[in-house]
Amino acid sequence: MPSTAVMAAGSGLHAASDLGPSFWAAQGSNLLFAALAILAFLAIVGLIMYGADLIKGSARDKVQLVVLVTPVLALLAVGLIYPAVDTTWLSFNEITNEPDPDTGVFTTSMQFIGLDNYRFAFSDPSTLRTILNTFVWMILVPLMSTGFGLAYAVFIDRAKGEKALKSLVFMPMAISLVGASVIWGNIMYDYNQVGEQTGMLNALRALVGLDPYNFLVDDPWNTLWLIIILVWIQTGFAMVILSAAIKGVPVEMNEAASLDGASAWQRFWRITIPSIRSTIVVVLTTITIMALKVYDIVRTVTQGRDNTDIVANRMYVLSFVEGREALGAALAVILFVFVIPVVIYNVRSLNKVKETH
């Protein structure tokens, strides 16, 4: 084992020698900066609230209300609502950067072009494919995550060591999408044209005598392999929420049905599922929205190659890499249009919850 010997000789912690004082000075000042920012923030908020408390008379309540809600409303208006409107407007325009005919100076101008960006998005084959892929993500991720999560929640319900078993499936929720992409893209799906298969799944295939399979290149199945990464992350979420709901189903109902001779399968479909239906809907919609916006996986694993691109990633590339902001804006609006039904549904159920209170 020559390599091991070399490695062993070169190992041992040598942190301080490689990272000079300038490194530690820079990191230290960054940390200090963050700490000061937090302190300054808390001090300012505290002082303003204290100041509002010194006011005498009837104005006090009003001023304090303003102090409480203004930061959030202002930040959301400037940072979310205005930008959303602005992006929507941008999507109907074209940005040109051409020399001025008189002066020859390059100037950027915006021109209203109506629906042209959208027409392009839905007619350009690769962009259209991107939109279709996003649809597939939006359908499969919630269904698969909820399905696995529900199955697992039911299987381990009241089993010995339930908590630990839950933690195992829940754990990926703490892992970043980038980390999960590395786990699956670089290790599980790894494919070698020659030699030993180092990828876990291809090694398994070799074990049972199958030829190696290039997961990430095989269009259209590669999209499914990417989707599984997000399902792996999201199943824990579905499982935890559904498990809590299952425990909310009265035990008496199950016992009564059991006495009447209903099998476990029948009880699952006739009692458990109807009792937790509203929770299932919540889980499905939550994961749907999440699935639409995720760009980390595609960016990390395939960068959109081999027809795996999705709208969230293409939007990023168009806007921040290729400088085609208007088209990127149109894709962002398309994402938003996908979630509008969910927004409406959510606001309705929020109002229902408020009424029942």
Q: Which of residues 262-281 bind other proteins (CB under 8 A)?
A: 264, 278-279
DSSP code of residue 174: G
Q: Give the position of tokens 């002082």.
A: 47
Tokens of 252: 């008496």
In the complex, the smallest distance separating the C-beta of residue 286 from other proteins, rounded to whole angstroms, is 5
Which of 282-318 are b and which e, b meaning 16 or more Cβ less than 10 Å from the residue's Cβ?
Answer: bbbbbbbbbbbebbbbbbbbbebeebbbbbbbbbbbb
Q: Tell me the one-letter amino acid at 218.
A: D
d(CA 69, CA 64): 9
Nearest to 130 by CA among 283, 331, 279: 331
In the complex, the smallest distance separating the C-beta of residue 112 from other proteins, rounded to whole angstroms, is 17
Helix or strand run (H / E) with residue 107: strand 106-112
Q: Is 124 in the site for other proteins (CB under 8 A)?
A: no
Interacting residues with other proteins between 326 and 355 (CB under 8 A): 328-329, 331-333, 335-336, 339, 342-343, 346-347, 349-351, 353
In the complex, the smallest distance separating the C-beta of residue 346 from other proteins, rounded to whole angstroms, is 5
- Cα diameter, the chain: 91
Q: Is 96 in the site for other proteins (CB under 8 A)?
A: no
Q: Is 88 in the site for other proteins (CB under 8 A)?
A: yes
In the complex, the smallest distance separating the C-beta of residue 101 from other proteins, rounded to whole angstroms, is 25
Interacting residues with other proteins between 197 and 256 (CB under 8 A): 197-198, 200, 203, 232, 235-237, 240-241, 244-245, 247-248, 251, 255
Interacting residues with other proteins between 43 and 72 (CB under 8 A): 45, 49-50, 52-53, 60-61, 64-65, 67-69, 71-72
Of 104 and 106, which CB lies nearer to other proteins in the complex structure? 106
Rg of the chain taking only CA atoms, in angstroms = 27
Q: Is 143 in the site for other proteins (CB under 8 A)?
A: no
d(CA 166, CA 245): 15
User: Distance from first CA to last CA of the chain, Å, rounded?
Assistant: 70
d(CA 130, CA 175): 26
Q: Is 160 in the site for other proteins (CB under 8 A)?
A: yes
Of 143 and 293, which CB lies nearer to other proteins in the complex structure? 293
Interacting residues with other proteins between 293 and 322 (CB under 8 A): 293-296, 299-303, 312, 315-316, 319-320
In sequence order, the β-bridge partners of residue 95 are 110
**Residue selected from 79, 99, 114, 220 as contacting other proteins according to rule CB under 8 A:** 79
Three-state DSSP class for residue 97: strand
**Residue selected from 113, 132, 182, 262 as contacting other proteins according to rule CB under 8 A:** 182
**Residue selected from 132, 178, 217, 257 as contacting other proteins according to rule CB under 8 A:** 178
**Residue selected from 102, 123, 163, 274 as contacting other proteins according to rule CB under 8 A:** 163
**Residue selected from 25, 47, 78, 115 as contacting other proteins according to rule CB under 8 A:** 78
In the complex, the smallest distance separating the C-beta of residue 1 from other proteins, rounded to whole angstroms, is 6
Which of 172-207 are b and which e, b meaning 16 or more Cβ less than 10 Å from the residue's Cβ?
Answer: beeeebeebbbbbbeebbbbeeeeebebebbeeeee
**C-beta of residue 229 within 8 angstroms of C-beta of residue 302:** no
In the complex, the smallest distance separating the C-beta of residue 354 from other proteins, rounded to whole angstroms, is 8
